[in-house]
Structure 1
Amino acid sequence: MNEDDAKAWLEARVSRETMDRLQLLHTQLLRWQNTVNLVAPSTLGVAWSRHFVDSAQLYRLAAPQTARWLDFGSGGGFPGLVIAAIGVGENPDFKMTLVESDVRKCGFMREAARLMNLKVNILTRRIADIPPQKTDVISARALSNLKNLMDFAKPHLNQSTCLLFPKGSSYQTELDEISEDWQSKAEVIPSLTDPDAVVLRFRAANEKEQD
């Protein structure tokens, strides 16, 4: 997927207002990247496919009308701000919480969200230090291995939380390192942006299974 394809994919699936918000995020990303390392510099020229579509694809993998979304290690706003832009356009009750320990990256996200006219909750804290969120969806992109992500997620699960974790070609090795119970819940969904990548989707079932 090249940059023109990526923009066309988004334009076919989101409103004009949402696309305008994503354009604002792209502009701010290019501006802030000069002083804050938000994404790998080598990906700036392919940001629409590498970051925007890669983030946006997660929204459709969650349940329709999801209201509460928690994003770990949001960094440059991916996937959190992209998902928030889509979510508020489709559900007026949509609430996004972004967790990022880097103060400068949080500064970027706050400014980007202000310009995008998005109301999001940004927590400048370590993931281990935030209170239980009991959220509908948890996502994390390029943050840590799957075992760590499951540990991070555990305090924030409700009885039907959906977990969405994009992973690269070595995802099977990471799957083998988590409990058999979670392995049995794994759905492996091909990524739209990389033939070697996938999105791992899990759904919590009950408190016993989360232990």
Structure 2
Amino acid sequence: MTVTTEAEASDWLKTTLGIDPDVLSRLDQLAALLLEENARQNLVAQGTLLHVWQRHIVDSAQLLHVPRKTLPGGEWLDLGTGAGFPGLVIAALQPERQVTVVDSRRLRTDWLSRAASALSLDNVRVIHGRVEELETQVYSVISARAFAPLEKLLTVSARFSTPDTLWLLPKGAGAPHELAMLSESWRHTFHVEQSLTDPAAGIIVGSLLGTPRPKGTRR
């Protein structure tokens, strides 16, 4: 199935994820806040605003449905969250889960804090800063939506994971290529799942089993 319209997006949220009217209303409020703020700062591409439920909300929500194994509980880390996708959507859909969203741009994080407050998302922690500067902490789930090429992303953020951490990385049409180009020194279980909102796009899903050994060391 591919979600191609706003009506299909709303339908999918109700039938597949089974979200209740209160959560749907909260997501509707998020969409309204995004439209308002996008007039002040370029949070998302202007052309996607006509399809905000498909391109941003369901595109984020599908990460709860895509893994072939059960999604682990525990804290979720969303790197380079930008406009809060998928972080704010995940937090709205799973209020029992702590979600940490990170972005290096002050205007973005200021807005994320205001949006989380407006939506009463007490489970959201907003961090302004570069990934390289974050305090090391292990997370259960790590997401990054078009944040950085896979090799660089893993290099700067592998320290936040263990083999039990699930990575969910929307990568667009380049997902298979990025995975194929990943250095063989990374030990992982990554594979590519097709995106629900774009048949040409892929999501890299899996776990990181180990970091590359320095050159010259024996296995």
What is the TM-score normalised by the length of structure 2?
0.88
Cα displacement string for residues 82-113 of structure 1 (whole angstroms, at most 9, x for unaligned residues): 0111111xxx3x10000011111111111111
**Shift, 1:7, TM fit:** 1.3
Which residue of structure 1 lines up, in the alignment, with residue 44 of structure 2? 39
Query: Per-residue CA shift, 1:98-129, capped at 9, x if unaligned?
Result: 00111111111111111111021100001110
Judged with a 3 Å threshold, the aligned counterparts in structure 2 of structure 1 residues 191 and 179 are, in CA distance, closer, same or farther, namely: same
2:56 is matched with which residue? 51
Q: How does 1:89-168 map onto structure 2 within 5 Å?
A: 92=96, 94-119=97-122, 120-168=124-172
Code of the aligned partner of 2:75 = R
Shift of 1:65: 5.2
Match of 1:58, SS state, is helix
Asked if 1 retains the 8 angstrom alpha-carbon contact of 2:171 and 2:202, the reply is yes
Q: Is the 8 Å Cα contact of residues 188 and 207 (structure 2) preserved in structure 1? A: no
Once the two structures are superposed, the pairs formed by residues 166-185 of structure 1 within 5 Å of their partners are 166-180=170-184, 182=186, 185=189
2:211 matched residue in structure 1: 210
Question: Is residue 161–residue 204 contact of structure 1 (8 Å, CA) maintained in 2?
Answer: yes
For residues 64 and 200 of structure 1, the distance between their equivalents in structure 2, rounded to whole angstroms, comes to 15
**Going by fraction, where is helix more abundant, 1 or 2?**
1
Gaps of 5+ in 1: none
Q: Decide whether the 8 Å contact of 1:24 with 1:112 is kept in 2.
A: no
Secondary structure of residue in 1 paired with 2:65: helix
Aligned residues: 204
Moved over 3 A (4+): 61-65, 181-184
1:19 to 18, 21, 24: 24
Shift of 1:182: 4.3
Q: CA deviation at 1:23?
A: 0.8
Deviations 1:174-211 (A, max 9, x none): 11221225475122111100010111112133xxx234
Could you say which residue in structure 1 is the equivalent of 2:217? none
- Checking the alignment, whether the CA contact within 8 Å between 2:175 and 2:192 is kept in structure 1 is no
Provide the C-alpha distance between the structure 1 equivalents of 2:82 and 2:121, rounded to a whole number of angstroms: 17
Q: Which protein is bigger by CA-based radius of gyration?
A: 2
Q: Does the CA contact (< 8 Å) of 1:67 and 1:95 recur in 2?
A: yes
2-side partners of 1:183 and 1:33: how far apart? 40
Out of 71, 75, 85, the residue aligned to residue 78 of structure 1 is 85
Q: Deviations over 1:136-191 (max 9, x none)?
A: 01100021111111112211012311111111222222112212254751221111
- Could you tell me which of 2, 8, 33 is aligned with 2:5? 2
Aligned-partner residue type, residue 193 of structure 1: T
- Can you give the 5+ residue segments of structure 2 that lack an aligned partner in the other structure? 213-219
Separation in 1, partners of 2:59, 2:178: 20
- What SS is found at the alignment partner of 1:138? strand
Q: Which moved more, 1:125-134 or 1:6-15?
A: 6-15
1:77 and 1:58 mapped to 2: Cα distance? 14
